[in-house]
Structure 1
């Protein structure tokens, strides 16, 4: 078997605790990541030996912040981190994986089928702004991992949560600085005070850092009026989206 399928000895007890009786399913997902995930360029070859430490366990501990039976929307899901990990660790959750790139959604769809998660997980190809107003919007929890700075992340994710729902952004060492820097923008987007949470305390060192933002109100985006120079044949209202349909297949994330 490839390295990374079975959790290394130093993480075996933690993996067993966070995944419980679904540890074998997590191991199968690890196999997919270190084989097809690497071949398709979704996981770097150097990440394969530390797939449990840096990816699976690190994402799974987020589940302690998600209530039972919640609907979860994972933005920029990539290879399924943290969305598929949460689906494996928490079978009570209903999860939608949103990803704009075709090669990634193909992997996600195949992984969901291979892991038998079809009843709980839906894969949607598109950007976050294309999902607003759709059936997946109004989620209890919106998750994202290493997708963008916190201000842009809030702009993409908060419209997808219900009022009273939450954005859980898995961040690194920059989390506190980003929260301070973008507090005002988050408020303008309808979000509450960003709060740093540490997940997996006592299980992993260091714990996973998650920025939690509660959606306090809906915000209708203000669209700037076009200037007189922008109006005319082929420009003006509607020209930005004209002719590209749903916009799927564009590589810009978000």
Structure 2
């Protein structure tokens, strides 16, 4: 499914990332299963092998290049969809303790089958993020939360920051066009602080990672329910 091993090695190495044959085989299995499953369940619009390599796999793994994720960190991928960015990251970093959260059960079913094929350990949660982060066992539990989504920074922050323990970080993978400062108030209300932003080029496209540090506990009333979140941003 993926381009040949040598080409994939070259693509990864252009970002200073080493690809070995074992990881390549897992990514190839991932790509093949994703594209076949996508014929019946809409998971991604990106199915061309080279595009899958670049826009799904390399972009996901770059998260650990531009952000320091210590060994054995716990990470929850909020609205993970087809597993991006966290499953490719887990392939490269098996030490990460991974939780995959999505509101659609058909995506969770895909991820369970995928992780079984890849022999990846993960926790799977089928529920809305705003409900899960109210649960004692998940609230302010994780070292990192992450999301790769088109939603604005204010909305993403309300869904993701409550999962993060004080001292942890929320990682938002964004395009370059959004004015991140518009989400600054939401970040602060939820107990966070925009630590830094990382802008990089993914071949011919611009990308941005917004790193939010959790500096105080999130007030108990957040996140609000979905209708309140959609009605008015923080």
Q: Under TM normalisation by the shorter chain, which class is it?
A: 0.7 to 0.9
Query: In the alignment, which residue of structure 2 is the partner of 1:185?
Result: 186
Which residue matches 1:68?
A: 71
Seen in structure 2, the aligned counterparts of structure 1 residues 50 and 7 have a Cα distance that, compared at 3 Å, is: farther
Aligned mates of 1:88, 1:211 — CA distance in 2 = 23
The alpha carbon displacement at 1:19 in A equals 4.3
Contact 1:166 1:212 in 2 (8 A): yes
Distance (Å, rounded) in 1 between the aligned partners of 2:33 and 2:88:
12
CA distance in 1, matches of 2:118, 2:166: 32
What residue is the counterpart of 1:196 in the other structure? 197
Taking structure 1 as reference, are residues 183 and 82 closer, same or farther at Cα in structure 2, changes over 3 Å only?
same
Indicate if the aligned counterparts of 1:162 and 1:215 stay in contact, CA closer than 8 A.
yes
- The structure number with the bigger radius of gyration is 1
2:44 aligns to what SS in structure 1?
Answer: coil
SS at match of 2:193: coil
- RCO greater where, 1 or 2, for CA within 8 Å and sep 6 or more? 1
1:160 aligns with 2:163: yes
Query: What secondary structure sits across from 1:114 in the alignment?
Result: helix
Determine which structure has the larger strand proportion and give its number. 2
Once the two structures are superposed, residues 46-72 of structure 1 have per-residue CA deviations (whole angstroms, 9 ceiling, x without a partner) of 555510111110111102222221100
What is the CA distance between 1:170 and its match in structure 2? 0.6
Relative distance call for 1:89 and 1:207 in structure 2 (3 A) is: farther
Of 83, 87, 92, 2:90 maps to 87
Decide which of 135, 138, 148 is 2:137's aligned counterpart.
Answer: 135
Q: Distance in 1 between matches of 2:182 and 2:4?
A: 37
> Once the 2 structures are TM-superposed, how far is the Cα of residue 18 of structure 1 from its aligned partner?
4.8
Give 5+ residue unaligned stretches, structure 2: 226-234
Q: TM-score, normalised by structure 1?
A: 0.76
TM-score (norm 2): 0.82
Shift of 1:22: 1.7
Q: What is residue 98 of structure 1 aligned with on the other side?
A: 101
Deviation at 1:208, TM superposition (A): 3.9
State the partner residue of 2:42: 41
Deviates more, 1:134-143 or 1:65-74: 134-143
Instruction: Determine if the alignment matches structure 1 residue 15 to structure 2 residue 12.
Output: yes
- Do the aligned residues in 1 keep the contact of 2:5 with 2:24 (CA within 8 Å)? no
Q: Distance in 2 between matches of 1:213 and 1:36?
A: 34
- Aligned counterparts of 1:38 and 1:183: Cα–Cα separation in 2: 40
Structure 1 CA distance for aligned equivalents of residues 19 and 73 of structure 2: 18
Could you list the runs of 5+ residues in structure 1 that have no partner in the other structure? 224-239, 241-254
Report how many aligned residue pairs link the two structures.
216
Match of 2:3 in 1: 6
CA RMSD of the aligned region, Å? 2.6
Aligned to 2:216: 217
2:231: which partner in 1?
Answer: none
